[in-house]
């Protein structure tokens, strides 16, 4: 089992940047692909990005492509989400989770969800 904890959220103005972290404990994170999802109030959980277990492959939702960058440091058992040019519509609770396979975009393909970190972008 791997336990995931997100951090790095906060309040930022439109156009600003934040870096989220997803830190793992328990089993080594390099076993898994990792995905970031987000959920705004009253909306379904939405895929944001995913990275392969060794970091060689990444994939993004169209809504964040070119603005967000996912990366990982397996030595630190941590996955990051660098978010630039933030927009008010990026406001959501951001979650990370593990998957056995890279490239999955459905939340049902992920497990061991963290508790989330809130990102609020003001206009």
Q: What is the structure's pLDDT at 123?
A: 93
Which residues lie across from 11 on neighbouring strands? Answer: 120
In whole angstroms, what is the distance from residue 55 CA to residue 31 CA? 11
With a cut of 90, say whether residue 80 has pLDDT above it.
yes
- Confidence band, pLDDT 50/70/90 cuts, at residue 26: confident
The helix or strand, by DSSP H or E, that contains position 102, with its residue range, turns out to be: none
Q: In what order do the strands lie in the sheet with 10-13?
A: 10-13, 117-122, 92-99, 33-39, 46-51, 58-60
CB contact at 8 A, 32 and 39: no
């Amino acid at each position: 089992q791997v336990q995931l904890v997100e951090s790095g959220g906060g309040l930022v103005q439109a156009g600003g940047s934040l870096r989220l972290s997803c830190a793992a404990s328990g089993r080594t994170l390099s076993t898994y692909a990792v995905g970031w999802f987000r959920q705004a109030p009253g909306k379904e959980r939405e895929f944001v990005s995913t990275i392969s277990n060794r970091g060689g492959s990444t994939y993004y939702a169209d809504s964040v492509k070119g603005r967000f960058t996912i990366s990982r440091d397996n030595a630190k058992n941590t996955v990051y989400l660098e978010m630039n040019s933030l927009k008010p519509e990026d406001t959501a609770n951001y979650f990370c989770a593990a998957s056995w396979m890279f490239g999955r975009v459905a939340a049902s393909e992920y497990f061991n969800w963290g508790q989330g970190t809130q990102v609020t972008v003001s206009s």
